[in-house]
Structure 1
Amino acid sequence: MPGATAIFAVESFCLLCMQYLFFILAVLTGVGISVQSGVNSSLRHALSNPVLAALISFGTGFFALVAVHLFSGNPTPTADELRQINWWKWTGGVIGACYVTTVIISVSKIGPANLLSLSVAGQLIAAVILDHYGLLGFQSHPANIWRLVGVALIIAGVVFVVKN
């Protein structure tokens, strides 16, 4: 069936393209986080208040997400559906607030390269642990030798970035 083979090849190519698109989006997100740390730090200095700067950052993000949600056409859950959600699933915003506030306070003290390299190392270590054990609803991806070498190389990179 030559036609079926061609369709399979096209589908495989499209899946590969989508995977690369998500890789590119992940890199752009990293760029955005670097820019965000500078923007939020500048806001902190303008306001002389790191918590207010974080609040404004989250507030503008909140309104942006409300607009995206309203135009997305996705249904809004009912109050009963919201009550069914486990308590710990609501903590992402608190964790995000702690992260943004820590970045706002720390970036001018240790610099963006030090801050973000340490942050990325922490994220990667946590991600490998979450993946390995399948925590928080993630599918399990065992921590093989390549992943551990990758983490070690990231840590080595952090040492080089942070060392003055």
Structure 2
Amino acid sequence: MQWLPAFFAILAGISNPLQSGSNSALLKTIQAPIVAAFIVYAIGAACLLAAMPFLGFPLKTSISKLADVPWWAYIGGLCNVLFLMCTLLITKKLGSATFTTIVVISAVITSVLLDHFGLLGFEVRPATWLRIGGAALAAIGVVMIAVF
């Protein structure tokens, strides 16, 4: 495994509970889920704007390719909004460990299925008994963290 992609995957994993906690604190203070979500996305948009000088913004080239994008490639934004609203509304009620446990377990199961069937453009990686066992052990581990 290459170390740089793994490093960024670790950062993404670290950011998940941090995002959930900060989003919940924002909602607790302002008491308006849609406004809190808008603020989160406004900050994200500002960060993207700040990155443009370094990463570029090939809008014209990108727009010309939109017709080639498969329909399911657009659900990422919907999934992002769903996750954000869930973090805003239920993280504090469940607690960070329980919320993250449920997210991780559902993500592992979904990931094994996506790999097995090669959905959403993923390379097919069969759900062998070892992969299913690994997913089960991961689920058991995160449940132990949340419950005990």
Shared fold per TM-score greater than 0.5? yes
Cα offset, 1:78, TM superposition: 4.9
Cα offset, 1:69, TM superposition: 3.4
Give the letter for the 1:158 counterpart.
V
Residues of 1 paired with 2:108 and 2:62: CA distance?
Answer: 35
Cα offset, 1:163, TM superposition: 2.9
- Correspondence for 1:73: 56
Q: How many residues align?
A: 147
Inter-CA distance 47–127: structure 2 relative to 1 (3 Å threshold): same
Cα offset, 1:74, TM superposition: 5.5
Query: Rg bigger for which structure?
Result: 1
1:12-70 alpha-carbon deviations (Å, 9 max, x no partner): xxxx5xx1222222112211111111111111011101222122111211221233234
1:121 partnered with 2:102: no
> Is the 2:101–2:143 Cα contact (8 Å) retained in structure 1?
no
- Correspondence for 2:74: 90
Cα offset, 1:97, TM superposition: 0.5
Give the letter for the 1:144 counterpart.
T
- Correspondence for 2:46: 63
Give the letter for the 2:109 counterpart.
I
TM score, norm. by length of structure 2: 0.88
1:43 partnered with 2:26: yes
Moved more, 48-57 or 154-163: 154-163
1:96-144 alpha-carbon deviations (Å, 9 max, x no partner): 0011110111111010000001101111110110011111111111112
- Correspondence for 2:139: 155
Residues of 2 paired with 1:131 and 1:78: CA distance?
Answer: 27
Residues of 2 paired with 1:153 and 1:78: CA distance?
Answer: 41
Residues of 1 paired with 2:67 and 2:74: CA distance?
Answer: 11
- Correspondence for 1:143: 127
- Correspondence for 2:14: 31
Task: Point out where structure 2 has 5 or more consecutive residues left out of the alignment.
Answer: none
What's the Cα RMSD here? 1.9
Residues of 2 paired with 1:99 and 1:114: CA distance?
Answer: 15
Residues of 2 paired with 1:78 and 1:113: CA distance?
Answer: 39
- Correspondence for 1:22: 5
Sequence identity (%) = 33
- Correspondence for 1:104: 88
Give the letter for the 1:34 counterpart.
P
Task: Point out where structure 1 has 5 or more consecutive residues left out of the alignment.
Answer: 1-15
- Correspondence for 1:10: none
Inter-CA distance 79–32: structure 2 relative to 1 (3 Å threshold): closer
